[in-house]
Amino acid sequence: MNNTVRPGWVKGSALLAAVTMGIWATWCSAILLIGGRLPLLELQVVKGDILAFLLMLFIGEPIFITLAYWTTMLILLPITLLTAGRARNRS
C-alpha cells in the first residue's frame, strides 16, 4: 500500500478546482435556462431554449468538466509527485 503523505495545499488546490468546476457547470445550466452568454465559452444562448439546455446538460457539461479535470490533474500530479519525493527524502 502506498503511504505517500501529500501536502495540504495540494489537497486544497484539488478541492478548489472541483468546487470551481461544479459552480461553473451550475452557472452554465442556469444561463441556458434564462438566456445570455455562457462563461468561458462565449456562446450566446436564446432565453428558454430547452433543446440547448438538454444538449449542454447531458453532452456539453460532461465533456467540459472532464477536460477541466484532466487539465487540473496535468498541473497537480507533477507538483504532488515532486513534493512527495522531497518529503520522503527528508524523513
For residue 36, give the 3-state DSSP assignment. Answer: strand
Task: Please give the grid coordinates belonging to residue 57.
Answer: 446538460
48 Ramachandran zone, left/alpha/beta (phi>0; psi -120 to 50): left
pTM: 0.62
Mean pLDDT value of segment 37-50: 78
> Which residues contact residue 72 at a Cβ distance below 8 angstroms, ignoring those fewer than 6 apart?
14, 17
- Model pLDDT for residues 26-40, shown as the tens digit of each residue: 888 888 888 888 777
